[in-house]
């Protein structure tokens, strides 16, 4: 299906040679030629407008530092720098798992070093991001259950009540969302656009790559890569584990809202829980 507004943006932004790249739940994605270079045109579906607005705010703030450049945008479309190399999953598949984790840490440091006026109106605070976990925990508590959601909510509340190093966050860092650019190295894309403690941005990484579940469920691997990230970010290892634990349960709670049980994320949470202090 050709998006109804494709031709509008080809004309308005002087784009040519559109080639379909992907279709997601929130957008149609094309490569196009702009100013002599091949770039990405993301045409938003109605369901993706609000979510992608926050992502655009984050990309403007990062301004190409550790992330792809946002070249043009409005409420219905984004024009983006194209990182056309391999993603980090390719390194993991070649047996370079720890190298991939170190690269993620380096990309996060670049993102979190961005400076400027915080676009707080277009970013989601972590307290809001965790609402689904808190809602699930409240429901379980009313039923008299000290479930993993209840325990994770207590951890999350403590983390969020005393945030450290608040930054503009990518919000969805994992192996699929970092690609190599031929001239600028490894770059992140598809941010969610959050604001909060920077350690949150390392949490999702340890739940991925989703295509290799046997690695994600390996406790030794999880702890080793958490140690690599903590060292790269210069953050407290125990606090990172607490974020991984609470994030994994948050992810599972999103599935619960859709009537699905998410054993993958809860499996990660159960690996981490015995190591929390």
All structural domains of the chain with their residue ranges? 6-80, 88-275
Model's pTM, two decimal places?
Answer: 0.94
Instruction: Write down the CATH number for the domain with range 6-80.
Output: 3.30.200.20
Question: Is residue 119's pLDDT more than 80?
Answer: no
Band of residue 211 on the pLDDT scale cut at 50, 70, 90: low
Q: What is the pLDDT of residue 209?
A: 65
Mind telling me the catalytic residues?
172
| Domain 88-275 fold | Aminoglycoside 3'-phosphotransferase; Chain: A, domain 2 (3.90.1200)
Tokens of 73: 């945008």
Mean pLDDT of 174-189: 94
Residue 213 has pLDDT above 90, yes or no: no
Q: In the block, which residue shows the tokens 């970013």? A: 123
* Residue 207 CB neighbours (<10 A): 19
Segment 218-227 shows an average pLDDT of 95
Q: In the beta sheet, which residues pair with residue 22?
A: 29
pLDDT digits (tens, 9 = 90+) for 143-167: 999 999 999 999 999 999 999 999 9
User: Is 90:55 a contact under the CB 8 Å cutoff?
Assistant: no
**Predicted confidence (pLDDT) per residue in 50-95, tens digit:** 778 999 999 999 999 999 999 999 999 999 999 999 999 999 999 9
């Amino acid at each position: 299906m050709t998006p109804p507004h494709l031709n509008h943006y080809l004309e308005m932004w002087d784009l040519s040679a559109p080639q379909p790249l992907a279709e997601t739940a929130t957008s149609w994605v094309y490569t196009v030629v702009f100013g002599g270079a091949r770039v990405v045109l993301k045409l938003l579906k109605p369901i993706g407008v609000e979510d992608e607005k926050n992502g655009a705010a984050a990309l403007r703030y990062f301004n190409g530092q550790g992330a792809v450049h946002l070249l043009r945008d409005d409420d219905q479309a984004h024009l983006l720098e194209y990182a056309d190399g391999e993603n980090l999953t390719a390194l993991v598949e070649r047996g370079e798992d720890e190298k991939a984790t170190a690269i993620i840490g380096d990309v996060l440091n670049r993102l979190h070093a961005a400076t400027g006026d915080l676009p707080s109106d277009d970013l989601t605070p972590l307290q809001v991001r965790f609402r689904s976990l808190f809602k699930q925990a409240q429901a379980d508590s009313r039923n008299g259950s000290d479930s993993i959601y209840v325990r994770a909510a207590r951890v999350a509340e403590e983390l969020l009540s005393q945030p450290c190093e608040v930054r503009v966050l990518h919000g969805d860092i994992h192996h699929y969302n970092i690609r190599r650019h031929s001239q600028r190295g490894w770059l992140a894309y598809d941010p969610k656009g959050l604001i909060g403690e920077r350690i949150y941005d390392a949490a999702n990484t340890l739940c991925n790559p989703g295509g290799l579940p046997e690695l994600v469920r390996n406790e030794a691997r999880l702890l080793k890569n958490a140690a690599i990230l903590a060292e790269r970010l210069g953050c407290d290892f125990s606090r990172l584990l607490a974020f991984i634990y609470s994030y994994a349960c948050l992810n599972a709670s999103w599935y619960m809202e859709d009537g699905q049980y998410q054993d993958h994320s809860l499996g990660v949470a159960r690996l981490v829980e015995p190591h929390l202090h």
